[in-house]
């Protein structure tokens, strides 16, 4: 019985070390595979109860585990949509075959890195057929509130490289100096005109025309102007009229003293803003606060548009796409505007090593890994997303070669045990002779 158990233990040792060698060979063969997570073999002794003063060898059993939570070094690349996770968390991806079929929500898989490029349909996918998943943004670039414990709201990230985009003008700041001399009694009261371009909801160029008409008194100076707004999209229609009076004191001379609304949205002295309705909707115009010199002023004898600022842009072509550290996918246009089109969450689980490993360095949540949660990159326990980067293999070739030597020695020793048992059994057989 004892000799037989020694033989079994030797055979178990051969099997266990063969298993360890398999993991080592797998690790070495994937030493240049981006995002590869190394396999590890652990040995566990098996104990067989002994009776009557005899001992039976139980041998050894090998178990394997993929160390998914171990990360490789990040290396820079030249592709803006080469992505890697720095720290904890995984990128959600789907199989391109499922996405192309379009039969319901595709199954979510997880990975830590990928070289994503647009395919013929605009999907960001890898050469191995993994499509990046994310939450779509609203037209204004904001991300709605999505459920964080399910992948149902994730969509394949699709980039329309032929996309046009424009932004309507919603805010405007007028920094204009009006000539103080023209409100004197001996002036003609000529109207000064200012035209400011804006963009409507369809990206069409229109203009706000502002007329400044001085009030000419019978004597002295009035320091008063009437400001009238017109919209070229509504010819002949007055969209706002305001009476402005300016200070003539030593400390605040030339700044707004009061603004009286004749028509249009009321002037707000706390913000210096008023709202007029152009054809495409309300337009917020800042003319400056009372007593401040950063808006409309009345000084000297010159009419000068000092600073005119506005938001909005004409229609432009998409030129490139980048992903920032928080997982937001930004589209850049040749007009200089940037628009957020997706957000890539990072998926975290209590036990990443418990996930099921699949081809192409992808993983699937399992009961052993625990329930997953979709975090904003850089929030909670997760790391951030690094663009222009790939994650190298977690294999340490020098360490694997050292383990290979140890495994070879252990395998040879177990083979020697089997040889020794064979010789002992031969001696037992020779007793009968």
Q: What's the CATH code of the domain at 260?
A: 2.60.98.20
In a domain, 321, yes or no: no
Q: Which residues contact 260 (CB under 8 A, 6 or more apart)?
A: 242, 243, 244, 245, 267
Helix pair angle (2-29, 397-432), 10° resolution: 160
Residue 328 lies in a domain: no
In a domain, 369, yes or no: yes
Question: How does pLDDT run across 182-219, given as a tens digit for each residue?
Answer: 999 999 999 999 999 999 988 889 999 999 999 999 99
What pLDDT score was predicted for residue 57? 80
Give 100's pLDDT tier (boundaries 50, 70, 90).
Answer: confident
Which 3 state secondary structure label does DSSP give 4?
helix
Domain span at residue 18 reads 2-67+394-432
- Domain tally for the chain? 3
Same domain, 185 and 135: no
Say yes or no: 46 and 82 in one domain: no
Q: Are residues 234 and 351 in the same domain?
A: no
In this prediction, residue 427 carries a pLDDT of 76
Q: Which is more confident, 275 or 316?
A: 275
Look up residue 403 and give its two tokens: 């383990």
Of 326, 293, 295, the residue nearest 173 (C-alpha): 295
Q: What angle is formed at CA 41 by the lines to CA 36 and CA 45, rounded to 5 degrees?
A: 165
Q: How confident is the model at residue 422 (pLDDT cuts 50, 70, 90)?
A: confident
pLDDT exceeds cutoff 60 at 71: yes
Are the C-beta atoms of 268 and 275 separated by less than 8 Å? no
Q: What is the pLDDT of residue 141?
A: 86
Higher-confidence residue: 62 or 335?
62
Q: Is the Cα dihedral 284, 290, 292, 297 positive or negative?
A: positive
Average pLDDT over residues 70-86: 95
Q: What is the mean pLDDT of residues 158-176?
A: 83
pTM, full prediction:
0.72
Listed in sequence order, the residues at least 6 apart from 412 whose beta carbon sits closer than 8 Å to its beta carbon are none
Mean pLDDT of 118-138: 93
In a shared domain, residues 215 and 291 = yes
Q: CA 388, 394, 399 angle in degrees (round to 5)?
A: 145
- Mean pLDDT to the nearest integer, 360-382: 94
Identify whether residues 81 and 139 lie together within a single domain.
Answer: yes
pLDDT exceeds 70 at position 52: no
Q: Is residue 317 part of a domain?
A: no
In a domain, 336, yes or no: no
Quickly tell me which residue has 């294999």 as its tokens.
395
Residue 329 lies in a domain: no
To the nearest whole percent, how much of the chain has pLDDT over 90? 75
SS3 214: strand
pLDDT of residue 322: 94
Q: Backbone phi, then psi, for 161, in 5-degree steps?
A: -70, -15
In a domain, 319, yes or no: no
Based on the fold, state whether residues 199 and 250 are members of the same structural domain.
yes
Q: Where does a domain end: 311, 328, 356?
A: 311
**Over the chain, what is the mean pLDDT?**
91
* Nearest alpha carbon to residue 21 among 409, 414, 404: 404
Q: What is the pLDDT of residue 391?
A: 96
In a shared domain, residues 382 and 399: no
Q: What is the DSSP string of 61-115?
A: EEEEEE-TT--PPEEE-S-TTEEEEESS-BEEEEEHHHHHHT-SSPPPEEESEEE
Q: Which of 9-23, 49-63, 162-176, 302-316 has the lowest mean pLDDT?
A: 49-63
For the residues of 322-339, what is the DSSP string, one character each?
Answer: EE-TTSEEEEEETTS-EE
The answer on 244 and 272 residing in a single domain is: yes
Mean pLDDT of 332-354: 91
* 407 and 383 housed in the same domain: no
398 shares a domain with 366: no
User: Among 5-19, 139-153, 173-187, whose mean pLDDT is lowest?
Assistant: 5-19
Stretch 218-246: mean pLDDT, rounded? 96
- pLDDT bracket for residue 79 (50, 70, 90): very high
Does the residue 320 lie in any domain? no
Q: Does residue 142 surpass a pLDDT of 70?
A: yes
Q: Is the pLDDT of residue 62 over 70?
A: yes
Same domain, 207 and 91: no
Reported confidence tier of residue 312, pLDDT bands at 50, 70, 90? confident
By the 10 Å C-beta count (0-12 exposed, 13-18 middle, 19+ buried), 430 is classed as: exposed
**pLDDT confidence band for 394 (50 / 70 / 90):** very high
Instruction: Identify the pLDDT of residue 50.
Output: 64
Q: Are residues 96 and 41 in the same domain?
A: no
If you average pLDDT over residues 219-243, what whole number do you get?
Answer: 96
Task: Give the model's confidence band at 307: pLDDT under 50 very low, under 70 low, under 90 confident, else very high.
Answer: very high
Location of structure tokens 């200089």: 336
Q: Specify the pLDDT at position 433.
A: 63
């Amino acid at each position: 019985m004892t000799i037989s158990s020694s033989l079994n233990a030797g055979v178990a040792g051969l099997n266990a070390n063969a298993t360890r060698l398999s993991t080592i060979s797998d690790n070495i063969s994937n030493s240049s595979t981006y995002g590869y997570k190394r396999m590890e073999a652990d040995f566990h002794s098996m104990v067989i109860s002994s009776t009557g003063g005899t001992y039976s060898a139980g041998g050894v059993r090998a178990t394997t585990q993929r160390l998914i939570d171990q990360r490789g070094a990040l290396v820079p690349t030249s592709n803006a949509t080469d992505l890697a996770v720095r720290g904890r968390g995984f990128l959600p991806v789907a199989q391109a075959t499922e996405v192309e079929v379009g039969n319901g929500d595709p199954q979510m898989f997880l990975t830590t890195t990928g070289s994503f490029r647009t395919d013929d349909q605009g999907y960001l996918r890898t050469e191995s057929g993994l499509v990046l998943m994310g939450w779509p943004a609203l037209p204004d670039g904001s991300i709605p509130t999505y459920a964080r414990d399910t992948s149902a709201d994730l969509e394949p990230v699709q980039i329309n490289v032929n996309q046009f985009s424009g932004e309507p003008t919603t805010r405007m700041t007028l920094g204009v100096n009006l000539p103080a001399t023209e409100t004197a009694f001996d002036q003609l009261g000529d109207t000064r005109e200012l035209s400011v371009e804006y963009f409507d909801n369809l990206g069409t160029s229109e203009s706000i025309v502002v007329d400044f008409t001085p009030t000419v008194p019978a004597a002295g100076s009035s320091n008063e102007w009437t400001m009238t707004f017109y919209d070229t999209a509504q010819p002949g229609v007055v969209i706002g009229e305001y009476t402005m009076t300016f200070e003539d004191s030593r400390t605040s001379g030339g700044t707004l003293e009061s603004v009286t609304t004749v028509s249009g949205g009321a002037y707000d002295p706390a913000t210096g803003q008023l709202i007029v309705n152009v054809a495409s909707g309300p337009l917020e115009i800042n003319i400056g606060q009372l007593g401040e010199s950063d808006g409309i002023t009345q000084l000297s004898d010159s009419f000068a548009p000092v600073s005119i600022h506005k938001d909005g842009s004409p229609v432009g072509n998409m030129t490139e796409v980048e992903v920032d550290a928080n997982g937001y996918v930004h589209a850049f246009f040749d007009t200089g505007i940037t628009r957020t089109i997706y957000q890539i969450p990072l998926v975290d689980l209590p036990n990443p090593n418990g996930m099921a490993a699949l081809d192409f360095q992808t993983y699937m949540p399992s009961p052993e890994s625990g329930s997953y949660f979709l975090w904003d990159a850089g929030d909670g326990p997760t790391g951030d997303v690094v663009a222009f980067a790939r994650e190298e293999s977690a294999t340490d070739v020098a360490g694997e070669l050292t383990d290979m030597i140890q495994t070879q020695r252990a395998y040879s020793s177990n083979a020697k045990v089997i040889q020794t048992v064979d010789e002992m059994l031969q001696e037992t057989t020779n007793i009968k002779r």
